[in-house]
Structure 1
């Protein structure tokens, strides 16, 4: 059972998320409608994971995202799952850029993904466990934009497919199953990705760093 704080200004969606989480066996310790209340709830209840909308009152710009990143500064390693109505690449890249040397525990999902209850709850569990989970559609948009901005790419088409599945938080076995290749082939592709992106084997979460490096065009 996870202790969850939910921040969503739309009353019906907030109530729906709380009900879904409760039915999934988790405990919603607070369900709030703005960024200020989110910060207060996290400071008071110290949840296992936070779910927040990107856009929150009063400005309906990026208040939820900024609140989440501020909370990660105050509570290092706090798992946060950010929900967005549509693919907003600046928000996604800011969230990915916040991984740094901290434990990951970050997710960026489109709200449509909540409709698949099992997939949503699995994403929440993985974020709470410290994984980085990015919506597949967000990954496609980011990688497509990156490919347009920078050519020729250092990665092969297959390596880009592996990288995209890395960003979704899949392990080697799951990536192999999705692409119908062996786990040994996935390991080889991952090694090539790390080498081509000049990632130090001694660094922390190289899978996250690989996604970051590629999206930044490094």
Structure 2
């Protein structure tokens, strides 16, 4: 489902997703309608604009947080012109599984957006690097101080939902080098293998100083 106050943007995103074989079960324009529609339709994902009526500040983000309280790990992909730090932290602190936060002006192409939609709906993450940078800047303490610059770059790309092969391509290094960096990241963050939690998600939370 889509929550966006602009009629043109709602229609545009709905058409874009339809072209990729993704059905929109509801399209609403405010936070209250978002929560009602989620309860009624139980969609696989909500694509939510941050600023909606009545105040056009953070209604969408607050509604997303409430939706995930009512339905734990309900997949939400937030689209915003800005990083709303307070509620972004609260959204991510609730668990990074099935969470996306993209800045509208930094979505490079349709394929990238659709990939984020599918990834978040499947329980993955897609967090814009600029969002990560701003949240890191506000943190009082940084649990990733032990990481090298390259390991930070790898972890930032992990936070965007990239697999090792895609990270290797982005950084122009071998798959083996990325695997080594990922192993070092897990070791330095003290993330032992777990059957109940995905270490990549836990590493992202640690990177954002939330887990």
How does the TM-score come out when normalised to structure 1?
Answer: 0.86
The yes-or-no answer on 1:162 pairing with 2:154 is yes
1:19-62, Cα deviation, whole Å (9 max, x unpaired): 21222221111110111111111111111111111122223232
In the alignment, the residues of structure 2 paired with residue 53 and residue 10 of structure 1 have an alpha-carbon distance, to the nearest angstrom, of 10
Gap runs ≥5 in structure 1: none
Secondary structure of the equivalent of 2:25?
strand
Quote the residue 1:174 is aligned against.
166
1:180-216, Cα deviation, whole Å (9 max, x unpaired): 2222221221121122122232261221221221322
The yes-or-no answer on 1:184 pairing with 2:176 is yes
User: Aligned-pair distance for 1:147?
Assistant: 8.8
Distance verdict in 2 for CA 1:115–1:23, change over 3 Å: farther
User: Contact 1:6 / 1:31 at 8 angstroms: preserved in 2?
Assistant: yes
Match of 2:122 among 104, 119, 129: 129
User: Contact 1:150 / 1:217 at 8 angstroms: preserved in 2?
Assistant: no
Match of 1:98 among 75, 90, 94: 94
Aligned length: 210
Secondary structure of the equivalent of 1:154?
coil
In the alignment, the residues of structure 2 paired with residue 179 and residue 212 of structure 1 have an alpha-carbon distance, to the nearest angstrom, of 22
The yes-or-no answer on 1:31 pairing with 2:27 is yes
Match of 1:210 among 200, 203, 206: 203
In the alignment, the residues of structure 2 paired with residue 169 and residue 146 of structure 1 have an alpha-carbon distance, to the nearest angstrom, of 22
User: Contact 1:113 / 1:119 at 8 angstroms: preserved in 2?
Assistant: no
User: Aligned-pair distance for 1:164?
Assistant: 0.6
Secondary structure of the equivalent of 2:100?
strand
Secondary structure of the equivalent of 1:109?
strand
User: Contact 1:54 / 1:65 at 8 angstroms: preserved in 2?
Assistant: yes
| Runs of 4+ residues over 6 Å off in structure 1 | 146-149
Gap runs ≥5 in structure 2: none
Distance verdict in 2 for CA 1:36–1:140, change over 3 Å: same
Q: Which has the higher contact order (CA 8 A, sep 6+)?
A: 2
Quote the residue 1:70 is aligned against.
66
In the alignment, the residues of structure 1 paired with residue 29 and residue 118 of structure 2 have an alpha-carbon distance, to the nearest angstrom, of 23
Quote the residue 1:81 is aligned against.
77
What root-mean-square deviation, in Å, do the aligned CA atoms of Structure 1 and Structure 2 show? Answer: 2.4
